[in-house]
Copies of this chain bind each other. A is one copy, B any other.
Amino acid sequence: MACDLNQNDEQRQILDAATALLEESFPVSRSLGDDQERIDKLAEFGAFALALDDDLGGTGFTLVEEVLLHVRFGRHIVPAGALAAPVAARIAAELGDNDLAREIATGQIAVSAGILAGDRLRTLDDTKAKLALVFDRRRLELVEIANADGETATGLGQGAELTEFPFVATTRIGASNSASILNVADLLVSAQLLGIAEAARDLAVSYAGMRRQFGKPIGAFQAIKHHCANMAISAEMLSAQLDMAAIAQRDSRDDAAFQTAAARLLAPRVALANARLCIQVHGGIGFSAEADAHRFLKQAHLLRQLGGGAAMLDLASPMAPHR
């Protein structure tokens, strides 16, 4: 144990395996809906239990690997339920219901990610989940939605399938505002947003190298080059901060809340900015629904609604001057 920011062999192996699965099951350009079967494959893979205690199905990995995994999830626009599940499992365990935690972690019970809009609960994926994890500012609540009457609605220009429930019709299971669970949730959201930012960068760079106008690849023009460079800088910034925060939280360092809040604050800005530039670099096709650029933008809009809101200026900085 020392200072080493390389990914080790074990980390690379699990990420490679996950990437293979994601490339098969979660092509970015897939159509909306019917994701439950795919999500089940992630559960089988052990994605939701990755960093849990052994008796909850954990496989000895840590939060750091889990965060890296969710970066991959972000690249493939995996539905937000895949983020809700591992957080929900932790809440169940905190509530003392280890059976429920295990069922969630193994995917036997599916969990949606939800937010509150007035007196209504809105879930952000159309998995037929039994439970929903409600992101309510600095508080997370686990509720049962299986028996509530949900109305589906499309959102974001046919870019999202939402379901709305009267919040009173859901069954409350329990809530948490423990710092460590909130931090985990913020880290996983940030990780998926980073995945979006990276994928948008890569897609733009690849298109810029290929698409020709005025007799050369558009990537030879400085304006396009600089858009791509800006995407690279932003993604690198967020990526470095996310590693820092994940390590701090895993190791229960004093600055875990600070580092996590910083990552969570930057994540949606970086993801939205890169998605926007990706659309712009693509020109006309970027504005169409046929390129994938808009999918990254829309998923960033969904994810930024989850969690966040830590009071960045109230947290102590590890770099505060002495005296």
Contact = CB atoms under 8 A, between A and B. Distances in A.
A173 interface: no
A221 interface: yes
A221 B221 CA distance: 9
Interface in A213-235: 221-223, 226
A45 B221 CA distance: 50
Nearest to A222: B222
Contacts of A226: 223
A9 to B, nearest CB: 42
Contacts of A221: 222
A293 to B, nearest CB: 22
Contacts of A223: 222-223, 226
A242 to B, nearest CB: 30
A222 B216 CA distance: 15
Nearest to A223: B222
A226 B224 CA distance: 12
A9 B310 CA distance: 61
A226 B221 CA distance: 12
A226 B226 CA distance: 11
A197 B222 CA distance: 25
Interface in A189-222: 221-222
A168 to B, nearest CB: 35
A223 B222 CA distance: 6
A149 B10 CA distance: 75
A44 B223 CA distance: 50
A227 to B, nearest CB: 11
Nearest to A224: B222
Contacts of A222: 221-223
Interface in A241-300: none
A225 to B, nearest CB: 8
A181 B221 CA distance: 50
A77 to B, nearest CB: 32
Nearest to A226: B223
5 contacts: A221-B222, A222-B222, A222-B223, A223-B223, A223-B226
